[in-house]
Chain A
Amino acid sequence: MTDKEMLFEYLLRLGDNCVILSQRLAEWCGKAPVLEEEMALMNVGLDLVGQARLILDYAGKVEGAGRDEDKLAYHRDAQDWRNLLLVEQPNGDFAVTMARQLYFDLFQQLQFEALVKSKDQTISEIAAKSLKEIKYHVRHSSDWVIRLGDGTDESHERMQNALDQLWGFTPEMFDMDAVEQAMVDAGIGVDVSTLRDEWDARINAILTEATLKRPDVTWEVRGSREGKHSEHLGYLLAEMQFLPRAYPDASW
């Protein structure tokens, strides 16, 4: 891969997480547990859409093949997506959504804090802008995990199950490969493997406060870097991409 191709690939990894997680959150529209929470989930989703647009717009320019943010979001098939397997997992119950959110929010916060120092000015600016939003996301998801964990017997049990169910998707966040390494060497990216300890420490503190147990799960799955996704992504894309694919010139 050329330097340009690596940067494009790296940007897809950053941007695709935001697109897919925002689409998942949007699925809660009209059926969240309470009105205030519905607004919260839509707000977080909206922030992620905004971040996705900034990143994918830049990715399109780096690629230089005439693809804009919409083309990248609506006209790529599952194997071309680079989002983490974690963010494409179905919403489940509210506890599952919050477990997924907490795992990702904490990771994204650490990743973007480091990206503020990126030598790539656009990435650095996007990271600085997004961090102000991510801070709110982290507070929101940690509050819920603590509240549900330290709540009733049922909420505690469901929250624990949710954490266990998604734990095996988290090691992938900290994987390094040739693209990640090239970005680190160029001063553009962050060495995600170094974020693991801090992420662990923050998760542990929240789980302790929530009276929850750190998941004791030994299985791990990965594959998003090569475009190997879980079956769920295809269904998500089918819904998200239907309109622009069926009516390519649709506008409103």
Chain B
Amino acid sequence: MTLPAPQYDKAAVGAILEMVKDPEIPVLTVEDMGIIRDVDIEGEKVIVSITPTYSGCPAMEHISNDISTTLKLHGYGDVEIKTVLSPAWSSDMITERGRERMREYGIAPPSDVGSKGAMLGIDPVSCPQCGSQNTSIVSEFGSTACKALYKCNDCMEPFDYFKCV
């Protein structure tokens, strides 16, 4: 089998990056998460800049390898993954589509862009199962660095809330 020749333009590389999922939340692509900061093409070299959600996020190495492997499988031989810190990742960078997918998956997405109320526990967090706003926090820290643990007081389901940072 011969692979189609790789195209060295941002749109083509971007389309391939759409296949790379977040290992912790596999319904989201790395693009949805706002992890991809930039794609640069220098001749036949592809440079993908990514930004960590949390500085200790153990998924970053995994994501970096996934991006590299996926691009290589599509014929891009020379791939460099750069980590950039600035501007620091914020949950505002999660796309609208990402938020919708997160909700369907059972994780309450971070509060809307610009609202820091939820982070201070002022805005109510909606239950991703029944939509009720009658919810309470169980723990500031959940199953991964980026999530907090909530429960719904109406449908009684526990759920993850993606922290607003």
- B2: interface (CB < 8 Å): no
Q: Does A158 contact B (CB under 8 A)?
A: no
B55 interface neighbour in A42, A43, A53, Cβ under 8 Å: A53
* A42 and B141 alpha carbons, distance in the complex (Å): 9
| Residue on B nearest A129 in the bound complex, by CB | B88
Choose among A37, A49, A54 the residue that contacts B139 (Cβ–Cβ < 8 A): A37
Is B140 located at the chain interface by the 8 A CB criterion? yes
Which of A90-98, A130-138, A160-168, A211-219 has 4 or more CB atoms under 8 Å from chain B? Answer: A130-138
For this complex, into which size category does the number of interface residues on chain B fall? 20 to 34
**Does residue B52 face the partner (Cβ distance < 8 Å to A)?**
yes
Inter-chain contact A44/B165, CB cutoff 8 Å: no
**In the bound complex, CA of A136 to CA of B54 (Å):** 12
CA distance A49 to B163 in the complex (A): 19
User: For A48, A51, A133, A135, which residue has the most chain B Cβ atoms within 10 angstroms?
Assistant: A133
Chain B nearest CB, measured from A70 CB (Å): 14
**Bound-complex Cα distance A47 to B165 (A):** 14
A48–B140 CA distance with the chains assembled, in angstroms:
16
B55 touches A51 (CB 8 A): yes
| Nearest Cβ on chain B to A230's Cβ, whole angstroms | 26
A54 to B145, CA, bound (A): 17
Q: Which residues of A are found within 8 Å of B117, using beta-carbon distances?
A: none
A125 with B139, Cβ < 8 A, contacts A51-B56, A132-B165 known: no
Would A54 and B85 count as touching, CB distance under 8 A? yes
Of all chain B residues, which has the CB nearest A48? B56
CA distance A54 to B87 in the complex (A): 15
B77 at the interface (CB under 8 A from A): no
Contact A47 B54 (CB under 8 A): yes
Contacts of B55 in A (CB 8 A): 47, 50-51, 53-54, 126, 129-130, 133
Nearest A residue to B56 via CB reads A50
- Nearest residue, chain B, Cβ from A55: B55
Q: Are B56 and A125 in contact (CB under 8 A)?
A: no
Q: B57 in the interface, Cβ–Cβ < 8 Å?
A: yes
Decide yes or no whether A238 CB sits under 8 A from chain B.
no
A43 closest partner in B (C-beta): B141
How near does chain A come to B154, taking the closest CB pair, in angstroms? 21
Across the interface, which residues of B come within 8 angstroms of A140, CB to CB? 140-141
A54 and B60 CA atoms in complex are apart in Å by 13
- Could you tell me if B140 and A46 are in contact, using CB atoms closer than 8 angstroms? no
| Cα-based distance from A50 to B85 in the complex (angstroms) | 12
Residues of B within 8 A of A125 (CB): 85-86, 88
Residues of chain A having any CB pair with chain B under 8 Å: 36-37, 39-40, 42-44, 46-51, 53-54, 121, 124-126, 128-130, 132-133, 135-136, 139-140
Q: Which 8 A-B pairs have the closest CB atoms?
A: A50-B56, A50-B55, A36-B139, A40-B141, A46-B56, A43-B141, A125-B85, A125-B86
Which residues of B come within 8 Å of A, CB atoms? Answer: 52, 54-58, 85-90, 119, 138-143, 145, 149, 163, 165
Question: Can you sample 14 A-B contacts with CB below 8 Å?
Answer: A39-B143, A43-B141, A43-B145, A46-B56, A46-B58, A47-B54, A48-B56, A53-B56, A54-B85, A130-B55, A136-B140, A136-B165, A139-B140, A140-B140
